[in-house]
Amino acid sequence: MEIRWLGQSCLVVTSGPHDVYFEPFPGLTHPGAKEDGSTVVTFSHAGVMRQHRQEWGKNAHLLEGPGEYEIAALALRGIPTPITGRDGSRGINTVYVLEAEGVSVCHLGTLSGTLSTQALQAIGNVDVLLVPAGGPGILPVDAAAAVVRAVEPDIVVPMHYVAGSANDGMGPIPQMIKELGITPPEPLPRLNVTRSNLPEEMKVVLLRPVP
């Protein structure tokens, strides 16, 4: 399994012939859906979904909210969590969990607060957690660290930050890493994960946005 960060909230997980695009954003450059139906795209809330539904075409599997989904060798489930808009409006954010190749990957979407006990139970065991890490309208760093501690993944992959070196241009990342008590790593272009190479202790992996 390979994980790449395309910037902002979007990461793509490649498992066999399948590409799972979590949370595409406006202006994202992507190759489009494959004709064989092996492209999956997830949307965490209605505002994102409306902007991008049409551009992926009829060959993509679009996941648009809570539920359980099976696509070939992939199993996905969407867990609803509350979200508060900038105008104070209430809505639903969908947290997605992907199970493939014996590895579980969780994308927290546009999570705006900590997770309830019920949501944590529905999410279950997580090997790789894709977590927003600060920024306007994004989960605050202390709350992000609290979510990481509650989920207890093997690997934490932050998103929504400015990518650079481990000590320069990292926005809220140094604070988040300090909160977690983990040594700052150098950013990588991609993350390759198998059941056998999961770490014994939790680690943070920083990814550089790649086209």
What is the model's pTM?
0.89
Strand order in the sheet with 90-100: 67-71, 74-84, 90-100, 103-107, 128-132, 155-159, 203-204
Tell whether the model's pLDDT for residue 85 goes beyond 80. Answer: no
pLDDT score for 88: 67
203 falls in which pLDDT band (50, 70, 90)?
A: very high
Express each pLDDT in 181-195 by its tens digit. Answer: 887 788 899 999 999
pLDDT score for 165: 38
Neighbours of 25 (CB within 10 A): 13
Least confident of 42-46, 55-59, 123-127, 159-163: 159-163
- Domains identified in the chain and CATH numbers: 2-204 (3.60.15.10)
Tell whether the model's pLDDT for residue 50 goes beyond 70. Answer: no
Tell whether the model's pLDDT for residue 168 goes beyond 50. Answer: no
Express each pLDDT in 86-136 by its tens digit. Answer: 666 778 999 999 999 999 999 999 888 889 999 999 999 999 999 987 655
pLDDT score for 99: 98
pLDDT score for 103: 98
Tell whether the model's pLDDT for residue 167 goes beyond 50. Answer: no
Tell whether the model's pLDDT for residue 205 goes beyond 80. Answer: yes
**Whole-number Å distance between alpha carbons of 98 and 94:** 13
pLDDT score for 112: 83
Tell whether the model's pLDDT for residue 166 goes beyond 70. Answer: no
Q: Which residue has the higher pLDDT, 29 or 76?
A: 76
Buried b (16+ CB within 10 A) or exposed e, 60-96: bbbbbbeeeeebeebebbbbbbebeeeeeeeeebbbb
Q: Do 204 and 156 form a contact (C-beta atoms < 8 A)?
A: yes
